[in-house]
Structure 1
Amino acid sequence: MQLKLIRLLLLLFTLSPCLLLAQVNTDLIALDINVSASKAIVYTMTAKAITNRAAYDNQPNFINKKQLAFSAADDKGNHDIIIYNFESEKFTNLTKTTNTSEFSPSLTDCGLYVSAVTVEEDGKQRLWLYPTNFGEPELLYDDIEPVGYYDWYNNKAAMFVLGNPNTLVYPYSKSEVLTIDRNVGRSIKRKPKSSIITYIDKNNPLEKEDGLIYPILGFDIEKRTHHKYGYTLPGKEDFIWLNQNLIMMGSGNQLYFKKANEDEWTLAGKVGISGYSDISRMAYSRKLKKLVVVMNRVSP
C-alpha cells in the first residue's frame, strides 16, 4: 500500500505539476459557447459549476452529445471515472475501484469503450479500455508504459510516455512503435477531421515578458509529416481544438482562441464565477455548444 501511494503521488506530480500544490481542489465549470469557422465567443454569464466539492474533479472529455467523462477522487484519494449527463444532471460511476486509479478518460474511435490511463496495483501506468456497457475492462498495450496522456487516431492511441525526457509515441503495429517527438507537453490532441496529432514542443520555447511560450506542433499519422501551429500562451500548455481552424487556451480566468495558421490570440471571454481561478484543462461539445473548463477552488 505504501509503494502504491508513493507511485500515485509521483503520477500526480507528473500529470499536473500544480495538482498537489492546489491540494487537488479543482471543479468543472460549464459555459455556453458559440464557435464559427473563424471566431469563438464564450458567454461567461452562463458559467455553472458541474462539480462543487473540495476534491479533485478534473480531466473532462465529452464522450457523446450529452455525456461528459472525468476523473474524480473519492474520500480515500482513489480516482475513478465519472460520467455526467447534461440532460439529467446526474452522475454515474463508470469505474469504482479500490486498488487502481483511473485518469484521462476518452471515447475510443469505435465508440464501445471509454479509455483511461490506469495506475495499477503494482504502480504501472497503462492504457485500459472500459466498456460503455459496464463490462470487464481490457488492457490495451501491455508493453507501453508509463502512459500519461493520449489521443486516438485509427483505433490506435498516440501516447505521452513518461520519462526523461517525456516522449510522444504512436504504435503503427506491434513491431513499429514510432517515437514522434521528445520532451513534449501534456496536451496530446488530434486535430478534428484529420490524421494529425498535435502537441506542445518544450525543446524550443521563446521567452516573453510574462513567461515562456512553446511551439504547438502536429504530426500527420498517415503522411508522416510535421506541421506548425504557432505558439502557446505564456507559461501555459493546456489547449483544445474547437474545429479544424481554431485552437483555445486559458490563462488565469480568461479564455483565448487563435486561428491555427496565425500567431495572435484573441480574448473569447472571462470566467467570472465566484470562488474559482486559473483555468487549466478544457473540453468542447459542438452539438451541445458547451465548453467545460477545469478551475482551481479558491479558499475563502
Structure 2
Amino acid sequence: MKLISPLLGLMATLAITSYSSLAAMPKSEILLADVNTEYGLQVSRITDGDVYNNQPLLTKSGIYFTKEVQNNEQSQTELVFYNFADQQTTNLTNTAVSEYSPTLTPDGSALSAIVVEANGKQKLWQYPFDKNVAPRRIFEWVEPVGYHAWGINNDVVMFILGKPHTLQYTHVAAAKPEVVASDIGRTLTFNKQLGAYTFNYTKQQQQWLASFDAKQNQVTDLFRLPKSVQDYAFKGADTVIYAVDNRVYQRNLSEPEIVSLWLDLTPYCETKITRMSYLNNQLAFVCTK
C-alpha cells in the first residue's frame, strides 16, 4: 500500500448507471484515507488510474471493488479484492461477462453483484466464497438491475433501470418486487439504527435523501442534498457523508440543517470524488481521472 504525498493527489472513477455499453469507461482510481492515525490523516493509493476502478466496498480485511479488464481492445468489468494483509489484488470472477457492484450478502457467505449477461440483460447474481458452490442468479426474471442493497431478513432493494429509474423491494423467497419510489439515484444502503433502507432521489427538481421502512411500507424524506450529489455513505449509524468535488461534508440525521466540512481531500484528488465506503475510521473513495 503506497502512501501518497499531498503533492501527488490524483483521480479515479465515475460510476455509470447502466453497463449495457462498456466501450467508454472513464479512467479512475481508488484511494484509502485512514483518518485517525498517530500522524493524522494518511492516504494511500489502492489502484492506479489507468483503467476504470469503482464501487469500493470496504471491509475489515480489505476492499472489494469493480475493475475494468481490457482484452483484445475490448473492455469488461470484473470483481476484485484488495487484501490489506499482503497488499495484493485478486480477480474474483474472471469470466466472459461483466460483473459490478460487489455487495456482501446478509450472512456474509457470498458476494452479490450485478451481472451483464451474454444477452445484455442485467441481473442480480451471487458468488459464494465457498468455491465448491457455483455462482447463480438470485432472481431469474428481475431485470434490468443497476444497484442493490440487502436488509437483515433476506430482503433487498434494487435500482431498476427504466424511464424513470425505480426503487423496488422484495424478499428473495417472494421474487416479486414492488415499486417503492421513482426517479432514484444510484446509492442504496440499509441502516440498522433506522431499521430502514436509505436512497437518494429527485423530487421537484431537488435531490433528497430518503428512507424506506419495509415493515411500515413507508418512505420518509430525511433532508435535501446538494444538486450535484449522487453518492453518499454513512459514517457511523447517524452521520451521512457526501462529497462535493473533492471535499467531503457530513450531516447528522438528528440535525440535518448543520453541515460541516469533514475532510478536504484536494491534495489527493484533483478532480471529483464519486464513490465512498466507510468503516472503522477508514474511507475508501473513488477519484475520477
For the criterion TM > 0.5, the same-fold answer is yes
**In the alignment, is residue 67 of structure 1 matched against residue 62 of structure 2?**
yes
Equivalent residue in structure 2 for 1:264, among 253, 258, 263: 258
Q: Is the 8 A contact 1:47 1:271 kept in 2?
A: no
Q: Which of 1 and 2 has higher RCO (CA within 8 Å, sep 6+)?
A: 2
Deviations 1:92-144 (A, max 9, x none): 1110012x100100100011110100000010100000011334211001111
Match of 2:33 in 1: 31
Q: Indicate how the Cα distance of structure 1 residues 65 and 175 shifts in structure 2: closer, same or farther if over 3 A, else same.
A: closer
Q: Which has the higher strand share?
A: 2
Task: Report the AA paired with residue 285 of structure 2.
Answer: V
Q: Is the 8 A contact 1:44 1:272 kept in 2?
A: no
Task: Report the AA paired with residue 44 of structure 2.
Answer: K
- The normalised TM-score by structure 2 is 0.85
Task: Report the AA paired with residue 282 of structure 2.
Answer: K
Q: Indicate how the Cα distance of structure 1 residues 196 and 291 shifts in structure 2: closer, same or farther if over 3 A, else same.
A: same
Mapped to 1, the partners of 2:16 and 2:46 lie a distance apart of 26
Match of 1:3 in 2: none
Match of 1:90 in 2: 88
Shift of residue 73, structure 1, vs aligned partner: 0.5
Shift of residue 263, structure 1, vs aligned partner: 2.4
Shift of residue 23, structure 1, vs aligned partner: 5.0
SS at match of 2:185: coil
Mapped to 2, the partners of 1:95 and 1:58 lie a distance apart of 16
Mapped to 1, the partners of 2:269 and 2:222 lie a distance apart of 34
Q: Indicate how the Cα distance of structure 1 residues 170 and 114 shifts in structure 2: closer, same or farther if over 3 A, else same.
A: same
Give the aligned length. Answer: 267
SS at match of 1:244: coil
Match of 2:17 in 1: 15
Q: Is the 8 A contact 2:32 2:282 kept in 1?
A: yes
Q: Is the 8 A contact 1:128 1:138 kept in 2?
A: yes
Equivalent runs, 1:192-271 vs 2, <5 Å = 192-206=192-206, 214-261=207-254, 262-271=256-265
Q: Is the 8 A contact 2:246 2:269 kept in 1?
A: no
Mapped to 1, the partners of 2:187 and 2:110 lie a distance apart of 21
Mapped to 1, the partners of 2:35 and 2:61 lie a distance apart of 15
Shift of residue 30, structure 1, vs aligned partner: 0.5
Q: Is the 8 A contact 2:78 2:98 kept in 1?
A: yes
Equivalent residue in structure 2 for 1:144, among 142, 145, 170: 142
Q: Indicate how the Cα distance of structure 1 residues 283 and 44 shifts in structure 2: closer, same or farther if over 3 A, else same.
A: farther
Match of 1:293 in 2: 285
Question: Alignment identity in percent?
Answer: 27
Match of 1:160 in 2: 159
Q: Indicate how the Cα distance of structure 1 residues 44 and 263 shifts in structure 2: closer, same or farther if over 3 A, else same.
A: farther
Q: Is the 8 A contact 1:22 1:296 kept in 2?
A: no
Deviations 1:259-282 (A, max 9, x none): 113123210011134564200110
Equivalent residue in structure 1 for 2:46, among 26, 45, 50: 50
Task: Report the AA paired with residue 133 of structure 1.
Answer: D
Mapped to 2, the partners of 1:122 and 1:116 lie a distance apart of 17
Q: Indicate how the Cα distance of structure 1 residues 69 and 14 shifts in structure 2: closer, same or farther if over 3 A, else same.
A: closer
Match of 2:277 in 1: 283
- The normalised TM-score by structure 1 is 0.82
Mapped to 1, the partners of 2:240 and 2:204 lie a distance apart of 20
Task: Report the AA paired with residue 246 of structure 1.
Answer: T
Match of 1:6 in 2: none
Q: Is the 8 A contact 2:103 2:113 kept in 1?
A: yes
Unaligned 5+ segments in structure 2 are 1-13
Mapped to 2, the partners of 1:138 and 1:291 lie a distance apart of 31
Mapped to 1, the partners of 2:274 and 2:175 lie a distance apart of 36
Shift of residue 175, structure 1, vs aligned partner: 6.4
Shift of residue 156, structure 1, vs aligned partner: 2.3
Shift of residue 45, structure 1, vs aligned partner: 4.4
Task: Report the AA paired with residue 252 of structure 1.
Answer: D
Q: Please tell me the root mean square deviation across aligned C-alpha atoms, in Å.
A: 2.5
**In the alignment, is residue 118 of structure 1 matched against residue 138 of structure 2?**
no
Shift of residue 227, structure 1, vs aligned partner: 2.0
SS at match of 2:119: coil
Unaligned 5+ segments in structure 1 are 1-11, 35-40, 207-213
Mapped to 2, the partners of 1:22 and 1:278 lie a distance apart of 18
